[in-house]
Every structure is written in C-alpha cells, then in structure tokens.
C-alpha cells in the first residue's frame, strides 16, 4: 500500500478543492487511484466532506503508531504471550494459533496476532537462547509414491477400484467419505496403527493393531465405524495392502463400501498421508507400536482433532465433524 507524504497531501488538498477527479489526482501524484480514494474516505470529515492535509497527516501518524504498537509489543501482554506459548507447546502451528485467536473468545481483534508476528517472536527468542522453535511442526515433505504392501491388486478378492468410487467423493462436499492406511513398526516388529480420516472434516481416528493382518484391520474398522452414525460412513479408500483383503467383511460389519487406490498412487489418499505425518510427530519413524498403548494413540489423535485448520476456516476437525453429526440427527 502506498503511503502519501505530507507534501503530497497538500497537493491532494488543492486538487480536490478544485474538483479534479480521483484518477486525475492519482496521475499527477504518481500513485494508484485506490490510494486517493482510500485517503479521502479515511481523512475527510463525515459532515462537511472537506479534506485537509494537516488533519489527514495527523490521522495517518496516529494509525501508524497504533499499528506499530500492536505489531511490535503484543508480547508485552502476559495473557496473550502465555496463550501463544501454551499453544506452541501443545503442538499448534503459528498459522493455527493466529487464525484461532481471531475467532476464539476472549481473543477479540484487538488481541489478535498474525502468524508472521509469532514466527518473528520465535526466531527472536531463539537468537536469545530460547527453545520455542523446537515446538514448531516439521515442514511437510513431498508425498512419496510407495509401491504395493504385501499384496497386489489382483490378490484382493472382489476388489473395488477407485475408478468405481462415486464422483461426489472427490469434491469433499459431504461428510462420510474416509481414507485409511497403516502406520507400521520397524521391520521385524508386529505392531501397527490403522488410521482413518474423514475427507470433509479431516477428523482422524486411529486404532492400535497387534498384528498387520486383515483380521486386525477388520477389527479396527468395525471398532471405529460402529461408533459413527451410518450417514457418516459411506466410503473408505485404502491402498492395495494385504491387510485390506477382507474388505468385504468390513462392509458386512459396518455397511461402508471399501475402494482401493491405484498402485503407486498414494496421492489418491493424500489427506490420509498428511494425517499420518501429523501422527508421526508423536510417534516418530522407528517407533515400535507393540510398546505403545491405545491410550497414548488416543491422546495424540485428540490433540490433532482439536487443532484448528486454515482449510476449515480455523475450526477444528472435531468441531466440524460433530456439527455434521448434529445436522444429520436434526434432519432425521
């Protein structure tokens, strides 16, 4: 945005007095017409609509001083600083914290802090020997394209290909379409985690498995979907791993239709890949899941589901998912 000088404001005052158009004034002052329009709206009295350079300059200096105070000194407010530090330690990103502050009472607009300001404060603290930067989420990595896990597409009985999946699923306009996957232990260990994420709300569920088998996958899916209203269990998209060979048992148990992505196409379940990455922040690669409890998994999932998302207008997956459930209950 262009800031006018005091000299330019005097020229604007004279040109405006002689009724030059805003575009003519902009051309003469060498700025955009919207700059002139904004200046006149901000600095002209509502009653007489008379622009004066001196009054406009004073108002401009006051606005810039207030902006500077908000931008530079927000961390002098102990309540605001405490809130932001607590959220960082809980694993929230600066983007989520800033977006949530604009929505969440008592953090009204006058208390809101931009995500850039939070990042600047984190690096300022780091230079002074602080450790807030350690709480930042890892930057996302480019999706990897994995091969088939333990089975080929031809070895899955009565396999439903993703091409047969309703086109509506791709739009993410309805609640009830899920992506699923396994997060496995290091080679030689049996434990794993079955993850299920709802595409519309990004709501995550995860179940600890004793073994990486089809029977365990059926158990996990049944455990998750039996707690969810039937309106919110429409489709489930998995890869071609051997754990999905009993997909028909899942359908028979909870009424959800299981589809398989194309080989070497993890991007067709991109949301699930990202959610697995978020869960890996709590259980890094190399974790032996046979040594992890379901309670530990549930605590991590709860934190993820309560994390505001920009794509959800800074609501949380849990809020969006439960609102949809209430909508279905009301409609019925």
Output the 3-class SS for 183-249: EECCCCCCCEEEEEEECCCCCEEEEEECCCCHHHHHHHHHHHHCCCCHHHCCEEEECCCHHHCCHHH
pLDDT, position 146? 39
pLDDT, position 188? 79
The residue among 246, 276, 244 whose CA lies nearest residue 261 is: 244
Instruction: Give the span between the Cα atoms of 320 and 312, in whole angstroms.
Output: 8
Q: Are residues 216 and 270 in the same domain?
A: yes
Residue 1 lies in a domain: no
Q: Give the total number of structural domains in the chain.
A: 3
Q: How many CB atoms lie within 10 A of CB 17?
A: 11
176 half-sphere exposure, CB direction, 13 A CA radius? 18
Q: Are residues 178 and 326 in the same domain?
A: yes
Q: Across residues 240-268, what is the average pLDDT?
A: 91
pLDDT, position 46? 54
Q: Are residues 18 and 114 in the same domain?
A: no
Say whether 112 sits in a helix, a strand or coil.
Answer: coil
Residue 190 lies in a domain: yes
Q: Are residues 158 and 123 in the same domain?
A: no
Q: Per-residue pLDDT for 143 more than 70?
A: no
Residue 141 lies in a domain: no
DSSP-derived pairing of the beta strands 257-260 and 204-209: unpaired
CA distances from 249 to 63, 153, 158, 276 (A): 65, 18, 12, 25
Q: What percent of the chain has pLDDT over 90?
A: 40
Beta bridge partners of 209: 192
Residue 140 lies in a domain: no
Between 165 and 130, the more confident residue is 165
Domain hosting 44: range is 6-72
Q: Across residues 179-186, what is the average pLDDT?
A: 93
pLDDT, position 142? 37
Between 107 and 225, the more confident residue is 225
- Residue 109's pLDDT band (boundaries 50, 70, 90)? low
Q: Per-residue pLDDT for 211 more than 70?
A: yes
Q: Are 123 and 220 in contact (CB under 8 A)?
A: no
DSSP class of residue 30?
T
Q: Per-residue pLDDT for 196 more than 80?
A: yes
The residue among 168, 170, 147, 142 whose CA lies nearest residue 269 is: 170
Q: Are 216 and 241 in contact (CB under 8 A)?
A: no
Last residue of a domain, one of 72, 89, 113: 72
DSSP class of residue 7?
H
The pair of structure tokens assigned to 217 is 């996958």
- Enumerate residues 6+ apart whose C-beta is below 8 A from 24: 15
Residue 23 lies in a domain: yes
Maximum average pLDDT range among 39-53, 192-206, 259-273: 192-206
Instruction: Give the span between the Cα atoms of 85 and 83, in whole angstroms.
Output: 6
Q: Are residues 85 and 187 in the same domain?
A: no
Last residue of a domain, one of 50, 72, 94: 72
Residues, the chain, total? 332
Instruction: Give the span between the Cα atoms of 40 and 33, in whole angstroms.
Output: 11
pLDDT, position 279? 93
- Enumerate residues 6+ apart whose C-beta is below 8 A from 213: 242, 243
């Amino acid at each position: 945005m262009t800031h006018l000088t005091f000299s330019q404001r005097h020229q604007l005052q004279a040109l405006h007095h002689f009724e030059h158009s805003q575009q003519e004034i902009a051309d003469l002052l060498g700025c955009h017409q919207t700059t002139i329009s904004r200046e006149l709206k901000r600095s002209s009295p509502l009653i007489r609509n008379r622009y004066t350079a001196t009054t406009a300059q004073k108002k401009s200096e006051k606005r810039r001083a207030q902006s500077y105070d908000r931008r530079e000194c927000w961390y002098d407010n102990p309540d605001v600083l405490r809130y932001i530090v607590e959220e960082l330690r809980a694993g929230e990103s600066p983007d989520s914290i800033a977006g949530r502050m604009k929505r969440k009472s008592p953090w009204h607009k006058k208390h809101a802090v931009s995500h850039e300001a939070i990042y600047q404060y984190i690096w300022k603290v780091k230079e002074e020997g602080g450790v807030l930067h350690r709480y930042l989420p890892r930057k996302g990595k480019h999706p990897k394209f994995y091969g088939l896990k333990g089975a080929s597409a031809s070895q899955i009985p009565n396999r439903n290909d993703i091409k047969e999946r309703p086109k509506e699923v791709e739009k993410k306009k309805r609640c009830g379409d899920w992506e699923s996957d396994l997060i496995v232990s290091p080679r030689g260990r049996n434990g794993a985690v079955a993850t299920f994420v709802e595409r519309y709300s990004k709501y995550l569920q995860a179940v600890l498995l004793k073994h990486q088998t089809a029977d365990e996958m059926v158990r996990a899916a049944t455990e998750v979907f039996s707690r969810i209203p039937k309106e919110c269990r429409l489709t489930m998209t998995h890869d071609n791993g051997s754990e999905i060979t009993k997909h028909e048992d899942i359908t028979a148990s909870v009424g959800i239709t299981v589809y398989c992505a194309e080989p070497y196409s993890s991007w067709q379940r991109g949301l699930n890949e990202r959610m697995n990455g978020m869960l890996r922040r709590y259980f890094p690669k190399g974790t032996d899941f046979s040594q992890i409890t379901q309670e530990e998994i549930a605590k991590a999932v709860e934190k993820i589901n309560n994390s505001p998302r920009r794509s959800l207008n800074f609501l949380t997956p849990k809020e969006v998912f439960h609102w949809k459930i209430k909508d279905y209950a009301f409609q019925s």
